[in-house]
Amino acid sequence: MDVEWQKRGLPNYHILLWLQTKIQPDEIEKIISAEIPNKDRDPILYEIVCKNMIHGPCGELNIRSPCMNYRKCSKKYQRSPDDGGYTAILKVRGQTEIVVDNRWVVPYCPVLSRCFNAHINAEYCHSVKAMKYTSFWRIFNFEIHDRDPTVQHLAVHLENGQRVFFNANNLHQVIENPRKTTLTAFFELCSHDDFAKTLFYHEVPSYYTWNDSRCWLKRRRGKDVPGWPGIKMDTAIGRIYTIHPNQSECFHLRLLRNYVQGPTSFESLKAFDGVIHATFKATCFALGLLENDEQLKNALAEATLSKSPSKLR
């Protein structure tokens, strides 16, 4: 089984099944169908198939269909001539009703379609060509998963607001000495490292690695940074967790990370022009970051890269 995550937030599964008993050609039609059901005999399945399992239509019927490539369907529809069967009437956006037949049906399993009421393409795999690529890859022990570039998640929280884990035996120890986060460790790094003082929070993973001791260490591999002996730059990037604007102080703390270099504490993030402001929001006002809705627009634009419309609402 292979799972692909689509940008709109929905998983797309590719599942290959082997049957314990070899299936005969005349049994395939009992499991897989590529026909429009009889509307009178099975109105429920008829509606499901018409809603989820009709391709397009495309071609001359709908030249603007997303599957069209150089005036041809990239999915090779419509299929071979139909010998008969039932038809369905579909409405295409901006056009009149279109009558479709079995040539436009995506093969499906009636049982699965009835259970899930979704687009589930089911086909009979009668050749190794459909699975040879994965087999070849695994036989040669190639990597199945990879991530490039490396992404380091960066915590954002208020002072003493980080997440902690404790039990009845170590509660007092956790309260007195909470674990470091990538943010608090960044403050410590900036207090003694001159190069770190020139960085914004999200730039740190490009030059330092986060280790098991929960501290930032200089990278040993990468390109040398001109003018800074011993400092190397890699392709790793930092990704700061999203904060909802309803969490005002935390949201404005996250906003400041783009404009304050080398902070050594939460208090230093509130400092501007020799004045230490009472809140992070007040500091953003002093910096002129809240004079219009530009930051909120940027927040929404950034959110669309990782959240579906329903989640954002």
Q: What confidence tier does 89 reach under pLDDT thresholds 50, 70, 90? A: low
Host H or E run for residue 99: strand 97-100
Tokens, residue 119: 């687009």
Q: Which residues face 208 on adjacent strands? A: 218
The answer to whether the beta carbons of residues 91 and 71 sit under 8 Å apart is: no
pTM beyond cutoff 0.75: no
Mean pLDDT of 110-131: 83
Q: What is the DSSP letter of 54?
A: B
Residue positions counted in the chain: 313
pLDDT-derived band of residue 82, with 50, 70 and 90 as boundaries? low
Helical (H) or strand (E) element with 311: helix 309-312
Question: Exposed e or buried b for every residue in 138-172, given b needs 16+ CB within 10 A?
Answer: eeeeeeeeeeeeeebebbbbeeeebeeeeeeeeee
The answer to whether residue 169 scores a pLDDT higher than 80 is yes
Rounding to the nearest 10 degrees, give the CA dihedral for residues 189, 195, 198, 199. Answer: -60
d(C-alpha 225, C-alpha 195), whole Å: 10
Give yes or no for residue 93 having a pLDDT over 80.
Answer: no
Q: Note the maximum CA span of the chain.
A: 84
5 band by pLDDT with thresholds 50, 70 and 90: low
Round to whole Å and give the CA distance between 53 and 108: 7
pLDDT confidence of residue 174? 77
